[in-house]
Amino acid sequence: MKKIGFIGLGAMGNHMARNLTKKGFAVTVYDLNPEAVQSLVNAGAKAAESCAAAAQNADIVITVLPADRHMKAVMMNDNGVFQGASPGTTIIDMTTLSPHTSIEVAAEAQKRGLFFLDAPVSGGTIGAEKGTLTIMVGGEKQLFEQVRDVLEAMGKTIYHVGGIGIGETVKMVNQILVACNMLAISEAFVLGVKLGADPDTLLNVIKVSAGNSFLIEHRLPNYVFPGDFEQPGFALDLLRKDVGIAMDSAREEKVAISLTSIVYQMLTQASSAGFGNMDMSSVIKVVESSAGV
Ligand code: NAD
């Protein structure tokens, strides 16, 4: 059975590492938060003292960290993965971050005889818990096939989408669409309701019309209509981070993403107003407030 070093046991990683343990993989975990480590030890994993120690003797190292700088530090700092891992080890980074960071770190990994896949996920904490995540994998196809069993322990829909960085690119495209769609829903519904339309009637009609979307079906009934954003399915600050990655990439590639830029500013406004840790659909509160409702 493959030996796995798992680093980053937060809202997503905790469930993902747990599912690997349940499927019988030998999992050694590390996180800065000792409580998160202990919860995995209780579930049958081994604890490591550092990122390097988690990577030692591992066939595969998985990282699920907040953002680019955390992933780079975990890989390249003293006592990091690169120090602990033996040549031939495969690193699967499942953090949502910039495709440029994946390419940069993969090149450093290659110099040390390590293999690298970027494999961000979609499906939220519920998907992580149920093992039903969508996983978008960039890197060599053959390497992907070698670790497919590991990915299948965490996800249900698993795609090899291209070379290194393309996993993160596909995720970025998804996040742009999520953010723009959430703002479009917010503006359209706030205007409609202010004009006197009943929100439930609006939802029922849009659900069977061309304007329908996944977010309309999930965010309106579960968060917006009850007005309860406290338990985030996906936190607003995470979406803001993801749209920020898209803005950086667009600047680098000289692609004008005007609509996305406006959406980024509105997410920033919502974050400053205190909604950062709430569900991303709470951005509608900014639209409501500027509409005076
Ligand atoms: P999180 O903040 O809950 O967890 C991150 C974990 O990394 C924490 O436990 C933290 O202690 C640990 N960590 C940070 N720096 C570390 C270091 N140097 N060494 C060891 N551990 C370290 O984040 P999350 O919600 O689990 O998200 C992880 C990634 O998955 C993010 O990139 C996010 O954008 C992406 N994602 C999240 C969701 C979601 O619904 N939460 C959905 C899809 C994708």
Secondary structure element (H or E) that encloses residue 29, with its range:
strand 26-30
Ligand 1 centroid to residue 192 C-alpha, Å: 37
pLDDT at 233: 86
Asked if 123 and 184 sit in the same domain, the reply is: no
Q: Which residues pair with 47 in a beta bridge?
A: 29
Which candidate, 9, 98, 87, places its Cα nearest to that of 55?
A: 87
Q: Atom 42 (ligand 1): residue with closest C-alpha?
A: 124
- Ligand 1 atom nearest 125 alpha carbon: 40
Instruction: State ipTM.
Output: 0.99
Asked if 23 and 143 sit in the same domain, the reply is: yes
pLDDT at 232: 86
In angstroms, rounded to a whole number, what is the distance separating the alpha carbons of residues 159 and 264? 28
Residues 6+ apart with CB under 8 A from 103: 164, 165
Residue 95 near ligand 1, beta carbon < 6 Å: yes
From 163, 190, 211, give the residue that closes a domain. Answer: 163
Asked if 133 and 226 sit in the same domain, the reply is: no
Asked if 66 and 154 sit in the same domain, the reply is: yes
Q: Atom 12 (ligand 1): residue with closest C-alpha?
A: 8
Quote the domain boundaries for residue 108: 3-163
Residue 73 near ligand 1, beta carbon < 6 Å: yes
Ligand 1 centroid to residue 253 C-alpha, Å: 27
Ligand 1 centroid to residue 12 C-alpha, Å: 7
Which residues in the chain show pLDDT less than 70?
A: none
Asked if 124 and 63 sit in the same domain, the reply is: yes
Supply the residues annotated as catalytic: 171
Residue 58 near ligand 1, beta carbon < 6 Å: no
Asked if 130 and 180 sit in the same domain, the reply is: no
Ligand 1 centroid to residue 126 C-alpha, Å: 15
Asked if 205 and 96 sit in the same domain, the reply is: no
Q: What is the CATH number of the domain that holds 280?
A: 1.10.1040.10
Total number of domains constituting the chain: 2
